[in-house]
Every structure is written in structure tokens, then in C-alpha cells.
Amino acid sequence: MTQPAISQQVAEQLRAATQHTSRISRFYAKFARIISIAAVSVAIPFSIYHMIFGNIQVALFLAPVIMLQTYLAYHFICKGYNRNLAIILVVMQMVCTVALVAMFGPSAIVWLFVTGVTSFFLLSVRIAAFCNITAAVAVSSLAVLEPAFLVRFLAAFALFNVCLYAFSQQLVARTNELELMLTIDPLTRAGNRTSLELALARIKSQAERHGHAATLMVIDIDNFKRYNTDLGPREADELLRKIADVIKHRLRPTDSFYRYHGEEFVLIAENTPMSQATYLAEDLRKRVEKRIECATVSIGVTDVRPGIDVYEALKRAQKALVNAKTIGPNWVCFDTNESEPDIKQNDFWQDLVDSETSEYAESTVPVAPVKRVVGA
């Protein structure tokens, strides 16, 4: 089975999203390498100096720190960024700084500002703020400092952390905005083709590694070109938004919804067998028919199982949609690729008639027939 060709625009968006994530990971890995190597480069001569001039306690204190810093530098260089090791690196530097301030007094307190910047670059904002506040409290409790100097230090360090916090929050907000621009359709607020490709790759990996099943639905607005011609592009866009909102409000946390192209959408129901997914598709069809005036959708449904390529499954769902459109508007057709041979058509129809007991039932709307289309 071969993956269908992706349009050049979608391929460029996918590469941009992947490159953006990769750049962030490389930045953290590079910064962690620089910090750990710099710490080792400073700690070794500092330890040798105190060993030569008789301060053995400082040298012995720094020996295990140097060994751990060397290991962290090796890991960051060879294996890249690791969040847990980054936390260890920051905490170790904070402990060393507090110990040095306790031993040498105000002359060593400048290192607390260096480790404060490191924590905000390597850790999340909240964890970094917690580490810096803990270090400031430890310095205030353990170090022998003059009251006036201590007040000035705490005020400067607090202002320093407020600025770092504001900068980090702004950086996170900008990053989130960029990720939304790369992965969200601006009109319907559903996922775009880029995020759909990433989701298909994810469920393919889950099916191959863990055997997790998933169901794909291709949803198309019936007679949308007529709406566009009769009502105009603005009203047609509003119709797209309304239908997308109706569908999104019905989804579960495990479902994901994407705009495929034009008036076509794709819904991925993870860890959902075909029997449940068809109830969901029927419920979506009924909700759109009930809540959107003079608008209906047709839906093609298929399943993704281990050994079945997700792109081939997407093509089967599109074929099922074509069969639904051939029958007429406002239909659901599904193709299971014979993966559920134990489901009999008559029994399945009866299950839909009795769908009040289903988690996808909506008793206020009568159930329309759902046909099984094998090999669509």
C-alpha cells in the first residue's frame, strides 16, 4: 500500500511544523550542553585552586558535583535534551550556589542570578520560579548576611525573577500562537491538513506498536457548491463554521476533528470499534440535520487496524462517502474492510433502531437507516 501524494502546500506546512518542533528541541539541548560544559569548566579550576591553597572541604564538596556535571554534559551532547536531567542540573547548581554563599558570604551571591536564568531557560516557568524562590529562602536562612544587604539582595532577586517570569510567559504565548497558526484551520478552528497528517502518523504508530484500533470518518456537506453559489462565499463560510461547531461540541476527549479540504472534514475516533463509531457518525448526521437549517452532511466511515495502512483506510472512507453521496444526501455509509464479519446487517439495523441504549443515542430524533457498504 502506498501513501497518496500530499499537496505541496500541505507538505510545506508539515515540514514547517516538524522543523519548528525540532528547532525547539535542538535549542534546549544546545543550551543544556553549554550550561553543563560551562559548569564543569568553572568547577574544575575552582576546585583545584581551593585544594592547592588548603581549603580541602570545598574541593571535596565540588568533586561529586564535577562528576555529575560531566555525566550530564556527556548525556546532553550524545543523547540530546532530557527534562528530568535538566531538573537535576538546575537543582544541583542551586544547591552548590547556596552552599557557596553559606561558606563565602556575599561574594558568592552573584552566582544565584546565573543559576536563576538557567532555571527559566531549561525548565517550565512554574518549576523555575519555585526553584528560584526556594534558593532565595535557603540563602536567607543559611547565609550570614547583614540585614541591609539581605533586603537589597531579596528585592533585586525578586525583581529579576519577575522580569524572567514575564519574558518566559510571553515566549510561551508566542510559541503557542505559532503552533496554532501551523496546525489550526483559521475558519472552522478545526485541525488543518498539517495536524491531520501528524495525527494519521500517530495512529499508524499506535496501531503498529500497541495494536490500538481507530476509526476514520470523512464528512462532506451536501450540496455545498449550491450554497456557495446561491448565498455567496460569506454565508457559505458561516455555514462551514456552524457545522464544524455542531460536530466539535459532540466529540469526546479521544476524538479529533480536522478540515480536510473545502467542505470536507475528517474525524478520527481513537480506541473506538466500528460498532460504536457508526453510532457516533449517525448521531453527528442527525445533529447537523436538526440544528442547521436546510443543511445536511454525508459521512463515510472505515476502521484502522494493525497491518492496515492509514492512508489506504482514508481512501476507503472517501470511497464510502462517495457511495453515500450516490445513494443521496444525508446518508452514512461504512466500510469495515471485513474486519468485523460477526456484525450482520439485519442485526445492525435493529441495533440502530434500538439506539436509545447506546452512548451515542439521541432519542428526540428518529434514527435513519445506515447501510453497510463492503469494499467501498
| 102 touches 142 (CB < 8 A) | yes
pTM attached to this predicted model: 0.58
> Hey, which bits of the chain come out as E strands?
214-221, 255-261, 264-270, 297-304, 332-335, 371-372
pLDDT band per the 50, 70, 90 thresholds, residue 355:
very low
Out of 149-153, 324-328, 352-356, 361-365, which region has the weakest mean confidence (pLDDT)? 361-365
pLDDT value of position 246 = 93
Q: Classify strands 297-304 and 332-335 as parallel, antiparallel or unpaired.
A: parallel
pLDDT higher than 50, residue 364: no
Q: What is the mean pLDDT of the chain?
A: 77
Q: Which residue has the higher pLDDT, 1 or 209?
A: 209
How much of the chain is in helix, strand and coil states, percent to nearest 5?
70, 10, 20
The one-letter amino acid at 306: P
> Over 70: is that where the pLDDT of 15 sits?
no
Confidence band of 257 (pLDDT split at 50, 70, 90)? very high
Q: What is the DSSP letter of 232?
A: -
Q: Which range, of 18-22, 53-57, 65-69, 341-345, averages the lowest pLDDT? A: 341-345
DSSP string, 167-204: HHHHHHHHHHHHHHHHHB-TTT-SB-HHHHHHHHHHHH
pLDDT over 70 (residue 20): no
Query: Helix (H, G, I), strand (E, B), or coil: what is residue 184?
Result: strand
Band of residue 71 on the pLDDT scale cut at 50, 70, 90: confident
Rounded distance, CA 115 to CA 133, Å?
A: 12
Q: Around Cβ 79, how many Cβ atoms within 10 Å? A: 10
Q: What is the pLDDT of residues 263-305, one digit of tens each?
A: 999 999 888 888 788 888 889 999 999 998 888 999 999 888 7
- Does 18 or 335 have the greater pLDDT score? 335
Place of cell 437549517: 293
C-beta separation of 192 from 185 below 8 A: yes
Query: DSSP 3-state assignment of 171?
Result: helix
**pLDDT, tens digit, for every residue of 193-206?**
888 888 888 888 87
Amino acid sitting at position 37:
I
Find the distance separating the first CA and the last CA of the chain, reported in whole Å: 16
What are the φ/ψ torsions at residue 219 (nearest 5 degrees)? -110, 125
